[in-house]
Structure 1
Amino acid sequence: MKNPKALLRASVIGTSLVALCCFTPILVILLGSVGLAALTGYLDYVLLPALAFFIGLALYALWHKKQYDACGNTSEDSRSFPDE
């Protein structure tokens, strides 16, 4: 991946969205208002694995960004050519 910041940004947004849905009754209210309240019993089967996935993705993105920055890769370095 050329830009680890995009992966980090996506993982943080996904983690915060899933955490918001896990710890607040947003989805319960939304599903109840559209007549799908019977699905609220299955939210834990979807939201908890999704939360674990996005936390893992965020940790991977942080590790990848750390290695990317340690190598000295920046967009300016890749465009410049050494003097011959």
Structure 2
Amino acid sequence: MKIGLVGGLVTALCCFTPILVWAFAALGFSAMVGYLDYVIFPLLGIFILLLLIGIARYAKKNNL
């Protein structure tokens, strides 16, 4: 659950703010900015799925 939450927050932050664009520009990888959407959005979905699995396991473990 912690991995899903932290990963989802970091990925969402990178999706909705230009942090990665600035970082790639500073490092000289500006040509890769166009491909970020192909990686970031599926990664966000994976982390949200991990979070939901963690919440379900926590609820099942604690009989909620």
Report the TM range for the smaller structure's normalisation.
over 0.9
C-alpha RMSD of matched pairs (Å): 1.1
TM-score by length of 1: 0.74
> SS at the partner of 2:28?
coil
Seq. identity, %: 39
**1:20-72 CA-partner distances (Å, limit 9, x unpaired):** 0000000000000110000000000000000000011111110010001119x
1:44 aligns with 2:37: yes
TM-score by length of 2: 0.96
- Tell me which residue corresponds to 2:5: 12
Q: Which runs of 4+ in 1 moved over 4 A?
A: none
What is the aligned counterpart of 2:56 among 60, 63, 83? 63
Between structure 1 and structure 2, the one with the greater Rg is 1
Answer 1 or 2: higher relative contact order, Cα 8 Å, separation at least 6. Answer: 2
Give unpaired runs (5+ residues) of structure 1.
Answer: 1-7, 72-84
One-letter code aligned to 1:33: A
- Tell me which residue corresponds to 1:82: none
Q: Which structure features the higher share of helix residues?
A: 2
